[in-house]
């Protein structure tokens, strides 16, 4: 898989999701499905998206003991998803177990990427709640290295971190970056944002775009603008 634009389908139901995707005609964009939609609709939403020809990033951010993550990943691999993720904070052993669980009977597997630190975690919470007394930028890079050591394919990170992650973990280590906004649009609740064109310059491998496409008057036009700016 090469560079691509992934649409974050943050809808509450399958009905809303497919009503939205029907507006794309014959196009089959790469989509991200999160906890809300997956817990509401179950695995059928993934089966239906795959049957319609979409690539699927299943954003469930697993974090449990290694054996449980391995077994859960095995179930997800059978849904034929394209990208899965887990928390790097679950340890290298958990990440390795997750990766092992993802391998299908035919030897193929979805890409596996790690969440380093959630963007909702700030320095204060890192130190006072998680008891990690290091600058958050260093923690993000160390967790990215752990993910690489565990054999994962990449990390979810801010486009502002993509270059540093590539410097530390190598160019082939994937950076999947949310926090994307057009220059002429609202940031919503995102704090550290980049345009699709700047994310391209920063070396992002995949951009994850939600509201700039899902809330656009013309979602297909907004999606095509992302593709043009990010891929050319």
Residues that bind ligand C5P (CB under 6 A): 8, 10, 34, 118-119, 156, 178-180, 188, 190, 208-212
Q: Shortest distance, CB of residue 144 to ligand C5P, whole angstroms?
A: 13
Find where tokens 């990390």 sit.
155
In this complex, which beta carbon is closest to ligand C5P, that of residue 77 or of residue 175? 175
DSSP H or E stretch at residue 18? helix 14-21
DSSP H or E stretch at residue 165? helix 162-169
In this complex, which beta carbon is closest to ligand C5P, that of residue 65 or of residue 118? 118
Q: Which two tokens stand for residue 48?
A: 């239906």
In this complex, which beta carbon is closest to ligand C5P, that of residue 10 or of residue 198? 10
Asked whether the CA dihedral 81, 86, 88, 90 is positive or negative, the reply is negative
**Cβ-closest position to ligand C5P:** 210
Annotated catalytic residue, options 61, 92, 96, 200: 61
CB 118 within 8 A of CB 170: no
In this complex, which beta carbon is closest to ligand C5P, that of residue 89 or of residue 179? 179
- How many Å apart are CA 162 and CA 154, to the nearest integer? 10
- How many Å apart are CA 139 and CA 39, to the nearest integer? 30
CB 136 within 8 A of CB 117: yes
Q: Shortest distance, CB of residue 6 to ligand C5P, whole angstroms?
A: 9
Rounded to the nearest angstrom, the gap between the alpha carbon of residue 76 and the centroid of all alpha carbons in its chain is 15
In this complex, which beta carbon is closest to ligand C5P, that of residue 16 or of residue 100? 16
CB 94 within 8 A of CB 143: no
Q: Shortest distance, CB of residue 34 to ligand C5P, whole angstroms?
A: 5
171 is catalytic: no
Q: Shortest distance, CB of residue 108 to ligand C5P, whole angstroms?
A: 26
DSSP H or E stretch at residue 106? none
Q: Shortest distance, CB of residue 208 to ligand C5P, whole angstroms?
A: 5
Task: Show which residues are catalytic.
Answer: 61
């Amino acid at each position: 898989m090469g560079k691509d634009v992934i649409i974050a389908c943050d809808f509450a139901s399958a009905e809303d999701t497919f009503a939205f995707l029907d507006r794309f005609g014959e196009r089959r964009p790469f989509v991200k499905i999160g906890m809300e939609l997956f817990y509401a609709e179950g695995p059928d939403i993934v089966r239906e998206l795959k049957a319609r020809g979409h690539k699927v990033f299943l954003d469930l951010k697993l974090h449990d003991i290694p054996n449980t993550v391995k077994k859960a990943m095995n179930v997800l691999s059978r849904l034929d998803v394209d990208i899965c993720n887990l928390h790097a904070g679950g340890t290298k052993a958990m990440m390795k177990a997750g990766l092992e669980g993802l391998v299908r009977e035919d030897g193929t597997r979805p890409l596996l990427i790690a969440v380093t630190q959630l963007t909702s975690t700030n320095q204060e919470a890192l130190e006072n709640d998680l008891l990690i007394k290091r600058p958050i930028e260093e923690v993000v890079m160390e967790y990215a290295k752990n993910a690489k050591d565990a054999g994962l394919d990449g990390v979810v990170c801010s486009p502002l971190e993509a270059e540093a992650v590539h410097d530390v973990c190598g160019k082939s280590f994937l950076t999947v970056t949310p926090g994307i906004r057009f220059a002429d649009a609202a940031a919503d609740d995102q704090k550290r944002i980049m345009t699709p064109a700047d994310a391209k310059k920063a070396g992002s491998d995949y951009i994850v775009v939600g509201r700039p496409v899902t809330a656009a008057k013309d979602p297909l036009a907004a999606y095509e603008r992302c593709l043009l700016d990010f891929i050319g």
